[in-house]
Amino acid sequence: IIKKNGYMNSGMFFIRKDAIIRNFKKHQYKIFKNCCDAVNKSKMSKNVYYLNKSSFKKLQEISFDYAILEKSKNINGIKLNIPLIDLGNWKEIWSFFKKHKTKSNIKKNTFNRPWGKYINLYMGKGFLLKELVVNPKSSISLQKHTHRSERWTIISGRPKITINKNKFFKKPNETAFIPKGAVHRIENPFNKPVIIVEVQIGSIIKETDIVRYKDIYGRVN
């Protein structure tokens, strides 16, 4: 490892599409081919593309640094004098958020419910990012939303999820998509909290956009 005139890669890259394709063809052709196969054989359902599983599973687990940066010759770097924090996954993001949030935004953004709590992390035009914490032996109501869809990413725990007539369990790092108008529920039958990252997307993002069908806390519409 060099001791002078060395810089740490920040993980931010500006690359033209043709350049990234050319580099993968040259240095990681198997990855390029399997990516193309996964996309070309993908299926679309309810506005979501599902990559071909068999092709995707053939992809080698390798970082972009090792796969391309260390092999490509046509690279330039820019010195950037700012603090750098490597947030490589959702757990690191939540850990950073909890460590740096203040008492004021805890009170402002955290909402307690009979089943646990949710934290509004960020709201933009047409979307809202939330953290849901479902307590052990608890569940949200069986509900639907008229104006928004939702995507859940499981951070910890093993929630039982209902989407219309389908019921299934999910593990950490797995996701579930709830289309607009779909009846859904999160249940936590176990003894550890369930933590979920929820992304709401729609024309109206409001807590009043909800119809409850069943609720163990007596909150049915």
107 confidence band (pLDDT: 50, 70, 90): low
From 18-22, 48-52, 89-93, the region with the lowest mean pLDDT: 89-93
171-191: average pLDDT: 96
Tell me: the pLDDT tens digits for 85-100? 777 777 777 777 777 6
Could you state, in order of their start, the residue ranges of all structural domains in the chain?
1-84, 90-214
Six-digit token pair at 123? 């709201």
pLDDT at position 20 is 92
111 confidence band (pLDDT: 50, 70, 90): very high
What is the reported pTM? 0.57
pLDDT at position 192 is 96
pLDDT at 104 over 50: no
How far is Cα of residue 183 from the mean position of the Cα atoms in its chain? Answer: 21
Task: Quote the percentage of the chain above a pLDDT of 70.
Answer: 92
* Residue from 142, 147, 153, 144 nearest 194 by CA: 153
pLDDT at 17 over 70: yes
List the beta bridge partners of residue 4: none
* Residue from 93, 184, 110 nearest 141 by CA: 184
Whole-number Å distance between alpha carbons of 132 and 201: 16
Whole-number Å distance between alpha carbons of 12 and 15: 10
CATH 2.60.120.10 corresponds to the domain 90-214: yes
pLDDT at position 105 is 47
pLDDT at position 148 is 97
9-32: average pLDDT: 90
From 16-30, 37-51, 112-126, 141-155, the region with the lowest mean pLDDT: 37-51
pLDDT at position 91 is 74
Chain mean pLDDT for the chain: 89
128 three-class SS: strand
34-54: average pLDDT: 87
pLDDT at position 158 is 98
From 98-112, 138-152, 158-172, 203-217, the region with the lowest mean pLDDT: 98-112
- Cβ atoms of 176 and 161 closer than 8 Å: yes
- Burial degree of 81 (CB within 10 A; 0-12, 13-18, 19+): exposed
- Cβ atoms of 68 and 24 closer than 8 Å: yes
